[in-house]
Chain A
Amino acid sequence: MKARVLIRPKEGILDPQGKAVERALPALGFDSVRDVRIGRLVELEADDASHLSELCEKLLANPLIEDYEIQEIG
């Protein structure tokens, strides 16, 4: 199966990358964009989907500072 893992900074944790992008947008005329948060996207193929959560906890995300979401994409 193929999967997509979305990793985001946990709510409440300052995301300076997101802030920098948010602050740059008005200069381009995008005045109404708020709460920009930047994370990571990992795509992978696995024979056994049951290990994916463990893999996320142990390596792909740091559960102290990041949330993750696994999406099966076929």
Chain B
Amino acid sequence: MFGVLQFPGSCDERDALAACEKVGEARMIWHEDMSLDGIDAVVVPGGFSYGDYLRAGAIARFAPVMDAVREFADGGGPVLGICNGFQVLCEAGLLPGALLPNDGLRFLCRQVDLEVVSPDSEWTKGMEVGQTLSVPVKHMSGRYFAPPATLDELEARGQVVLRYAPGQNPNGSSRDIAGVANERGNVMGLMPHPEHAVDPLTGSDDGLKLFAAVAKSAVPA
């Protein structure tokens, strides 16, 4: 069973739920819920949790449900943060780095190509290095940042999971990084929206591969 978190101000939780339901069972989890009982994988969706006040993700990390998410992640449970969800996981310290305002200072909404850098995370398991995924981005603060020494470590440990294809870095992210994982590989965050690319009708179903990877390994059929 996938669990999709819902904060006040989330806006992509319906698409995330629909994406999960294409590969398994899924249900919504309200931000005030204290338990993740029966959940095998957690998706922290995109949107503008708590209005993005202060900094994107800064307040959502203190939501009651986040204690359970932290415990779940510490126990090895798969967690995916998409866009605002990525920002929340970085603010919560479950993922390294931070997301800064786009270098062009514009809200971006476009299809981008991503390259799989590491198939070692739970969410990219079974993919091939260099494989391309066509997925949309839509964000205002998506510029991934970490100090250079941290970036070196992340690269050395295979924690850089996805990069924007050459020439397609839309927001000034350090080293074209689009998605990172924790050291164990169970927690992953990315700015692009795989949940918006799960049907050929909308141009690409490449995003479904992330949900399918976890459905195969962690979610009982």
Residues of A within 8 A of B (CB): 9, 13-14, 16-17, 19-20, 40, 59-60, 62, 64-65
| B98 partner, pick from A16, A20, A59, A62, beta carbons under 8 A | A62
Q: Mark B92-124, 1 if CB is under 8 A from A, else 0.
A: 000001101111110000000000000000000
Residues of B within 8 A of A (CB): 54-55, 58-59, 62, 91, 97-98, 100-105, 143, 145-147, 172
How far does the alpha carbon of A62 sit from the alpha carbon of B58 in the complex, in Å? Answer: 8
Q: Report the 6 A-B pairs with minimum CB-CB distance, sorted nearest first.
A: A16-B105, A65-B98, A64-B98, A20-B105, A16-B103, A16-B101
| Residue of A16, A17, A59 most packed against chain B (CB within 10 A) | A16
Assess A59 versus B54: contact at CB under 8 Å? Given A64-B146, A65-B98: yes
B contact residues around A60 at 8 Å (CB)? 54
User: B145 near A13 (CB under 8 angstroms)?
Assistant: yes
How far does the alpha carbon of A67 sit from the alpha carbon of B40 in the complex, in Å? Answer: 38
B contact residues around A17 at 8 Å (CB)? 101, 105
Nearest chain-B residue to A12 (Cβ)? B147
Between A and B, 22 residue pairs with Cβ closer than 8 Å are A9-B100, A13-B100, A14-B100, A14-B103, A14-B172, A16-B101, A16-B102, A16-B103, A16-B104, A59-B54, A59-B58, A59-B59, A60-B54, A62-B55, A62-B58, A62-B98, A64-B97, A64-B98, A64-B145, A64-B146, A65-B100, A65-B145
How far does the alpha carbon of A64 sit from the alpha carbon of B90 in the complex, in Å? Answer: 10
A contact residues around B98 at 8 Å (CB)? 62, 64-65
New A-B contacts (17) at CB < 8 Å, excluding given A16-B103, A59-B58: A9-B100, A13-B100, A13-B145, A14-B100, A14-B143, A14-B172, A16-B104, A16-B105, A17-B101, A17-B105, A60-B54, A62-B55, A62-B58, A64-B97, A64-B98, A64-B145, A65-B98
Nearest chain-B residue to A19 (Cβ)? B105
Nearest chain-A residue to B102 (Cβ)? A16
How far does the alpha carbon of A62 sit from the alpha carbon of B54 in the complex, in Å? Answer: 10
How far does the alpha carbon of A5 sit from the alpha carbon of B55 in the complex, in Å? Answer: 15
How far does the alpha carbon of A60 sit from the alpha carbon of B59 in the complex, in Å? Answer: 10
A contact residues around B54 at 8 Å (CB)? 40, 59-60
User: A62 near B103 (CB under 8 angstroms)?
Assistant: no
How far does the alpha carbon of A62 sit from the alpha carbon of B90 in the complex, in Å? Answer: 10
A contact residues around B100 at 8 Å (CB)? 9, 13-14, 65
B contact residues around A9 at 8 Å (CB)? 100
Measured CB to CB, the closest approach of chain A to B138, in angstroms, equals: 18
A contact residues around B146 at 8 Å (CB)? 64
Nearest chain-B residue to A14 (Cβ)? B103
